[in-house]
Amino acid sequence: MEVPRFWRETRARYNLEGVRCGNCEKVFFPPREVCPDCHRASIGRMEKFKLSGKGEVYSFSTIHSAPDYFKDEVPYIVALIKTDEGPMVTGQIVDWEDGEVQIGTRVESVFRKISEQGKHGIIQYGFKFKAVRRALK
Ligand SMILES: [Zn+2]
């Protein structure tokens, strides 16, 4: 029996856990078995690597219509984040103010509810992102 994709990836999604190639030191997320650059040289040398969750917005879109189970959240923003370690990560931006999210905006990960399936359903948690606000002086 094959393990459902969701369960296989849960640990990585939950912890922002990727891997680093012991050969070229590139970081990948989600984790891979083999480095796409080093191939054979990376076999057995892929090490777990926890992303800092910090990065910047590479692109984003504001979602104004959503399936029923998301409709309380519209409008919401889904962004492609370029993490400081290199990998691109897709995530929802939370707690934003109008105009705050732009390309290049610094973000950091926060731990939030991702989805709830049905009335008595499973609640999934994982990372989302919020803009890093500079302290007012
Ligand atoms: Zn490599």
C-alpha 108 – ligand 1 centre gap (Å): 26
Pair 61, 39 in one domain: no
Q: Are residues 71 and 44 in the same domain?
A: no
Tally the domains of the chain: 2
- On whether residue 26 sits in a domain, the answer given is yes
Residue 136 domain-assigned (yes or no): no
What is the average pLDDT across 46-71?
90
For residues 123 and 69, membership in a common domain is answered with yes
Does the pLDDT of residue 134 top 90, yes or no? no
Q: How far is CA 21 from CA 39, 79, 90, in A?
A: 10, 26, 21
44 and 9 part of one domain:
yes
CA–centroid distance, 75 to ligand 1, in Å, is 39
86 or 4, which is more confident: 86
Two structure tokens written together for 19: 């891997």
pTM of the predicted model, to two decimals? 0.79
- For ligand 1, the distance from its centroid to the CA atom of residue 20, given in whole angstroms, is 8
72 and 120 in a single domain? The answer is yes
Q: What DSSP element (H or E) covers 10?
A: helix 5-15
Instruction: Name the 3-class secondary structure at 81.
Output: strand
**Structure confidence by residue, pLDDT tens digits, 74-129:** 888 999 999 999 999 999 999 999 999 999 999 999 988 777 666 667 777 788 99
Q: Find the domain containing 88 and state its range.
A: 54-131
Residues 98, 106: Cα–Cα separation, whole Å: 15
Q: Which of 31, 50, 69 is the last residue of a domain?
A: 50
Q: Does residue 58 share a domain with residue 39? A: no
Least confident among 35-44, 62-71, 113-122: 113-122
What is the whole-number distance in angstroms between the Cα of residue 83 and the centre of ligand 1? 18
pLDDT at residue number 50: 93
